[in-house]
Amino acid sequence: MSRISHVFEQLQQHGRRALIPFITSGDPDLATTLDLMHAMAQAGADLIELGVPFSDPMADGPTIQRSSERALAQGVGLRDVLAVVAEFRRKDGQTPVVLMGYLNPVERMGYDAFARAARQAGVDGVLTVDCPPEEAGPLTDALYAHAIDPIFLLSPTTPESRFPVVARLARGFIYYVSLKGVTGAATLDVADVRNRIHAMRGRVGLPIGVGFGIRDAQSAQAVARFADAVVVGSRIVQAIEEAPRGEAVDRVAALIREIRSAIDAGVGAQA
């Protein structure tokens, strides 16, 4: 069983939900990325999404665009991201790491070379935002061959007839994009998301995480009542951006603790 599936199984047994923070590797620099990963795991993150910076982040709003630009300004590329994961694995053998980014850096490295290197570094899942299942066959083959879970998106515009198309290739968990828009956009409509998650249950056969519109502890708590995982991205990246030099790690850890306890309190009250 993959590290991702194992984490979800453990959480489910204890009636808990996964908290998945997103940060961009190399923002503000690679050393801080490593510190942030350990601090977030300590503060209650169950899985870490690590953004691979790309020059043309079409699915991202201004906050994550800027973080990508900060990382690129230092020349951070896919190989550096893998090196950070390998470094992280020296101390943390449990927390799954999912790379999130765009297809081109992976194409450039070559699917098989990438999958091999990612596995060696200790990567557990890969989400390429601009590679829908129809185009993903060769990539998923390479990932399966190296025991890495391909993560796929479902969106508010995905017709139910497509659920099986996505579910056939997806492993680990399904990432439900909670709104029509880019990362960090307007707040989400909780009732609407709940209905969609209900429609997916039983049809995708994997845990379902929700991301894109979760801006604070309160919305994380609301979503955790019906989703298996909550992904928080722009809010954390914003905290990194706003932190004075040297304070990003403490601020992010505090934010993770706050969201963690809101999620647990909400789910506890429900039980």
Partner 1 sequence: MRRYDLPDERGHFGPYGGRFVAETLVQALDDLRNQYQRYAQDPEFQAELAHELKHYVGRPSPIYHAKRWSEHLGGAQIYLKREDLNHTGAHKINNTVGQALLARRMGKRRVIAETGAGQHGVASATVAARYGLECVVYMGAEDIKRQAPNVYRMKLLGASVVAVDSGSKTLKDAMNEAMRDWVTHVETTFYIIGTAAGPHPYPMMVRDFQAVIGQEARTQMIELAGRQPDVLIACVGGGSNAIGLFSPYLEDEAVRLIGVEAGGLGLESGKHAAPLSAGVPGVLHGNRTYLMQDDNGQIQETHSISAGLDYPGVGPEHSWLKDSGRATYVAVTDAEALQAFHDLCRLEGIIPALESSHALAYAVKLAPTLDKEQILLVNLSGRGDKDIPTVAGLSGLAL
CB nearer partner 1, residue 154 or residue 249: 154
- Site membership for partner 1, residue 185 (CB under 8 A): yes
CB of 133 to partner 1, least distance (A): 9
Please select the residue that binds partner 1; options are 6, 91, 168, 180, rule is CB under 8 A: 180
Looking at the chain, the number of H-run helices and the number of E-run strands are 12, 9
∠ CA 40-258-128, nearest 5°, is 45
On whether the CB atoms of residues 133 and 166 are closer than 8 A, the answer is: yes
Residue 59 or 267: the one with the smaller Cβ distance to partner 1 is 59
Q: Are 149 and 124 in contact (CB under 8 A)?
A: yes
Report the nearest approach of partner 1 to the CB of residue 89 (Å): 22
Q: How many residues bind partner 1 (CB under 8 A)?
A: 43
Question: At residue 250, what are phi and psi to the nearest 5 degrees?
Answer: -65, -40
The C-alpha atoms of residue 195 and residue 167 are separated, in whole angstroms, by 18
Query: Given candidates 89, 116, 146, 181, which one binds partner 1 under the rule CB under 8 A?
Result: 181
Q: How far apart are CA 238 and CA 235, in angstroms?
A: 5
Specify the stretch interacting with partner 1 by CB under 8 A; choose among 3-11, 101-109, 198-206, 261-269: 101-109
Length of the chain, please? Answer: 271
Query: Which CB atom, from 176 or from 217, has the smaller least distance to partner 1?
Result: 176
Contact 118, 146 (CB under 8 A): yes
Q: Which stretch binds partner 1 (CB under 8 A): 17-25, 59-67, 214-222, 261-269?
A: 59-67
> Could you give the C-alpha distances from 7 to 2, 10, 50, in angstroms and in order?
9, 5, 17
Residue numbers annotated as active site:
49, 60
Angle between helices 30-43 and 78-89 (to 10 degrees): 40
Residue 44 is a binding residue for partner 1 (CB under 8 A): no
| 200 belongs to the binding site for partner 1 (CB under 8 A) | no
CB 127 within 8 A of CB 154: no
46/49 with CB nearer partner 1: 49
Residue 106 makes contact with partner 1 by CB under 8 A? yes
DSSP secondary structure letter of residue 162: G
Binding residues among 107-166 for partner 1 as defined by CB under 8 A: 107-109, 129-132, 134-135, 152-159, 162, 166
Give contact residues for partner 1 (rule: CB under 8 A).
Answer: 54-59, 61-62, 65, 69, 72, 77-79, 102-109, 129-132, 134-135, 152-159, 162, 166, 177, 180-182, 185
